[in-house]
Amino acid sequence: MARRFCYDADFPDMMREDADIMLVPGGDWPEFGRAHTEMSSLRAIENGYALVRQDFSGWSAGFDHQGRTLSTQDTTVDHDSWILDVPARGTTTAYRLFGDVFAWLCLAGTIVLIGQTALARRAATRKRR
């Protein structure tokens, strides 16, 4: 089992795990806790697991593998026990398998197209002379 710390959900490579449920602790300041917790739901969608982000001073939430909010708790005012039922099975996603390969291919394609356009303009300029 991998060790996780407060801001691990901000780094996609650290969250790419073959898991069904991911627990991510949080230690945000109250003004930022809710937004930060809600952004972590993207990791559940990318990687196909249920994600529980428990923030001791902000906003805690549980998400299913499709990013739907299952339960929340505002820990700035509510310090009672929080019981959350999450799906025990996740799903395999293309992002978990291939990571950022698609994004890098798009970047490479863009560079190739820019290069082709520059060469075509240079050839057109030479023909006009």
Q: Decide if 84 is inside a domain.
A: yes
| Dist CA 3 CA 24 (whole Å) | 9
Q: Which domain holds residue 128?
A: 99-129
pLDDT at 32: 78
Same domain, 85 and 104: no
Residue 63 lies in a domain: yes
User: What total number of domains does the chain contain?
Assistant: 2
pTM for the structure as a whole: 0.72
Give pLDDT tens digits for 80-128: 888 889 999 999 898 888 888 999 999 999 999 999 999 999 998 888 8
Q: Which residue has the tokens 């030479």?
A: 126
Q: What is d(CA 74, CA 79) in angstroms, rounded to the nearest whole number? A: 8
Distance between CA atoms of residues 69 and 44, nearest Å: 11
Among residues 40, 93, 106, 100, the alpha carbon closest in space to that of 67 is found at 40
Q: Does any domain span residue 62?
A: yes
Asked if the structure places residue 3 within a domain, the reply is: no
83 plus 123 within the same structural domain: no
Query: Domain for residue 2, yes or no?
Result: no
Same-domain check for residues 42 and 71: yes
Proportion of the chain above pLDDT 70, given as a percent: 95
The whole-number pLDDT of residue 119 equals 95
